[in-house]
Structure 1
Amino acid sequence: MRTSRKGSVEMPAFVRQLVKETEKKMSSFFKGSRGGGAAEGEKPGEGEKEEVIPSPYLDRPVLDKLAEEGCARWGLTYALGSMQGWRANMEDYHNCVPQLGGEFADWSFFAVFDGHAGSSVAQHCSQHLLGHILATGGIGPEDDPERVRGALVEGFLHTDKHLHSVARREGWERGGTTVTASLISPYYIYFANCGDSRAMLCRSGQVCFSTEDHKPYNPLEKERIESAGGSVSLQRINGSLAVSRALGDFSYKGAENRSPVQQMVSPEPEVFVVERSPADEFLVLACDGVWDTISNEELCAFIHNRLSVCTDLRDVCTQVIDLCLYKGSLDNISIILLCFPGAPQLSAEALHQEAELDDLLESKVAEIYDELCARGEEPDLLSVLTVLASTVIPGLPPGGGIQSKRNCIISAYYQQREMHGPSVPNGGS
C-alpha cells in the first residue's frame, strides 16, 4: 500500500546563526554581480540611469526545507528533501510515485526537475511527463527493456512537443528544465537523464552506476550544437545556457530542417537499463545543486554511513542538503533517496561511534573556545570553525568530513556561549 508524508522542515536557529555570521562576506560577492549598465565599451549618456540587472542570488539563503517520505508494498522506501538556498527563486520540482497502480503496482517512478529561466516549465513537466511516458503503450507486464527504453525516449519527446504549444501560449519560450528520472520494475532499474541533474545507484557499498551530465562542451554535444548553428563559449551554448539537453528552451530549438533531437538543445534523454540485484542498497536522484559540491563516491559513502545511524530517510536527505550548503552550493538543492530492501540498517556499533564523535567534537569546541578567550581573542563562531577545520578529527563520516558535523559543532559553540555568559565580547553575533 502506498503511503507518504509531506511537510516543511524549518532549519534550527543555530544553523541560521551560522549563515548570519557568513552572509556579509557572501553578500558582498553577490552584490558585486548585480552591476548593470551599458554594454561593454559603451558609456551611459548624461543623466541616463544604468540598467540594474537583478541578481540570481539572495543576500541570505532560504533554509526552510520541503520533506516527503513514503514506501511501496514491494519493499521500497523513499524520502525527498529540497531547499531554495541562495537562489532568488525556487525552480526545482519533483515527482514521486512509489506505485504506478493497477497491473503495475510493483513499478515505481521518481524524477527531479531542475528548472532554469523560471519554474513554469519544471512544474509543468513534473505534472505531465509520466503520463506521456505511459501513454506510449511501451510499458507492459512483460517488462521488455527495449520497449521500455523506447517508451521513455518517446515520452520525453511527446512531453516537449506538447510543452511547445503551451509555452507559446503562456510565454515560456525562454524557460526550460533538466530531468533525471528512474522507472523501477520488478526486474530492472531504468534511468532517463536529460541535462545535468544526475542519478546514482549504490550496490554493496559502492557506486554501481551513474548517469552522465549533458554539458555543451562534451564532444558529441558540441558537435550537435555547432551543426545546428550554435556555438560553445564560456562552456555554454552561445555563451548563455549551461546544459545541452533539456525540455523547453525553445529559443534554442529553431534550426530549420533539423529534427527535435538535432537542435542545439535536445529533449532526448539518455536511457540506461540496470538489472536489479539483491545487493542494491539505494538510489539517488538529485539536481546539480548537489553534484556541484560532492562526487558520486563521496555521496555514496556518506549516505551509506548515515543509514547506519539514522532511521528517518528525511533526516538523511536533510543532512545531505546541509552538507552541500556548507560545502558552498549556491543553487537550489533537491534530492530523492530511494532505499531497497538491501540498504544498510541501523547499527548499534555505528550509533556508539557517532555518540563518541559528538562527544569529541563538543570537547574540542570547548577547548578552542577557552584557548581563544585565554588569548584575549574574540571566540566568534567562524574563529572556532576555522581552528577546528585544521584539527585532525578521527571518525568523521566518510564522504562528509568536518562539514557534515557542522550542526553538532554549532550547537556545542552556543552551549559554550551560554556557559560563559555575556562577558564574552560580541560572541560572534
Structure 2
Amino acid sequence: MQDAREWTESLGRLVRRHRDPVVVQALRSAAAASIAYVIALRLSPEPRPLTAPLTALLVVQVTLYSTLTTGIRRVNSVVAGVLVAIAFSLLVGLTWWSLALLIVASLAVGHLVRVDEFVPEVAISAMLVLGVTSVGDTAWARIVETLIGAVVGLGCNLLLAPPVWVDKAGESIEGLARRVRQLMLRVGEEAAGRTPAEQAAARLHEARRLDHDIVEVDAALRQAEDSLRLNPRVREGLLHRVVLRTGLDTLEICTVVLRVITRTLTDLAKEREPDPLFPPETGAVVERLLSEVADAVVSFAVLVTTDVSVNAESAEERLTAELRQAAATRDKLAQLLLEGIQRDARQWQLFGAVLTEVNRIIDELDTEHRSHRLLEELDRCSREQRERMPWVTWLRERLGGGRMPRLQRRNREATPRRSL
C-alpha cells in the first residue's frame, strides 16, 4: 500500500512538472527547432542547415500576443542579423576585429530597418549565426533557412499555444500576502508590549523592503498577462488579467498603509519611550486587530488567485467573515482609544493615525469595494480594447456570441441591489 501511494505521488509530481510553464516552453522550443531542421534538410542545399532551427528557436520564445503584435519586428531583426552575418562570413569570416565590426554594423542596420526595441537582437542574431555560417557555401541557402525557421517559429506560436503563467503569478501574489501577514503579526506583537524605538524602526525598514517584493510580483504578473492575451487555451483572458492586476494593486496599497503604520508606531515609540506604546488592554486589542487584518490579507490573496467558482465563493465567505470580525475589533479599539485620549490627550494624533490606517486596509479588502472596482476596470479595459483593436472584438463576438465575462455579468446583475 505504501509503495502504491509513493508511486501515485511520484506520478503526480511528474504530471505537474510536465505542466510547468518552463517545461512547456522548453518542449515548444525544441519541437519548433526540430521541425525547422527537418524541413530545411529537404529544402536547403546545405548538409547541416542549422540556421533554420536557430531562427525558429529565437522566434518561438515569445508569447502568442507578442507574436501577433511585435512578431514582425522580431522576425525582421532576426532576418537582418542573419543577412549581416552572411555578408561578414562571405567577406572576412570570424575574427576578433570582424566581430566588433559585425556588432556595429548590426546595430546600425537595426536602426535602419526600424525594429525598435529589437535592435539588440539584430546584433545577437548576427553573432550567433556567424558562428554557424562561417563555412557556408551560399548566402541564398542561409536566407532560405532563415525564412523556414521564422515561418516554423510563428506557426508553432499560432498552433501550439504558449504556456500560461497564471499559476506562477498567483504563487507570487500569495507569497507577497504571506510576507505582509508575517510582518503585520510581528508589529502587532510588539505593539502590545514595551517596544524600543530602534526595534520599531527595524520594522519600518522591513515594511520598506516589501517594495522590492512588489516589483518582483509585478514582473511575474506582466508575464502572466502577456501569456493570457489572445491565447486559445484561455477563456475570459481579460477577466483573469483584471482580477490579478486589481488584486496586486490592492495588496500594494495594503503594503503602503502598513509602511505608514510602522512609521506611526516608530514615532509613537520615540514619543512614549520608555513607556509602552499602548496601555495593556489597548495593546492586546491592537495585537488582535492586526492579527485579524493579517489573516484577511492572505484570504484576499487566495480569493484573487482562485479560479474554480466553488473555491472562490468559499474564499470570499471566509474573507467576509474575517473582515466582519476585524471591523468589530476596530470598533472596540476606537472606544478604548477614545477613553484613553479623554484621560491623556498626549500623542492623540498618533493614536488616531493607527486607527485610521488599519481602517483603510479593511476598506481596501472589502468584497463590495472590490466588486465595484473589478466592474469599472473590466468596462474600462473592454472599451479601450474595442477602440484599439476593433477587429479582435468583432472576431470574438463572432466566435463567442458576444458573451460577457462571468464576473462582469454577475456584478451587473448585483449592482442595483448594492449601495455605493
Work out whether the TM-score is over 0.5.
no
Q: Which of the two has greater helix per residue?
A: 2
- Whichever of the two has the greater Rg, that structure is 2
Q: TM-score, normalised by structure 1?
A: 0.23
Q: Determine which structure has the larger strand proportion and give its number.
A: 1
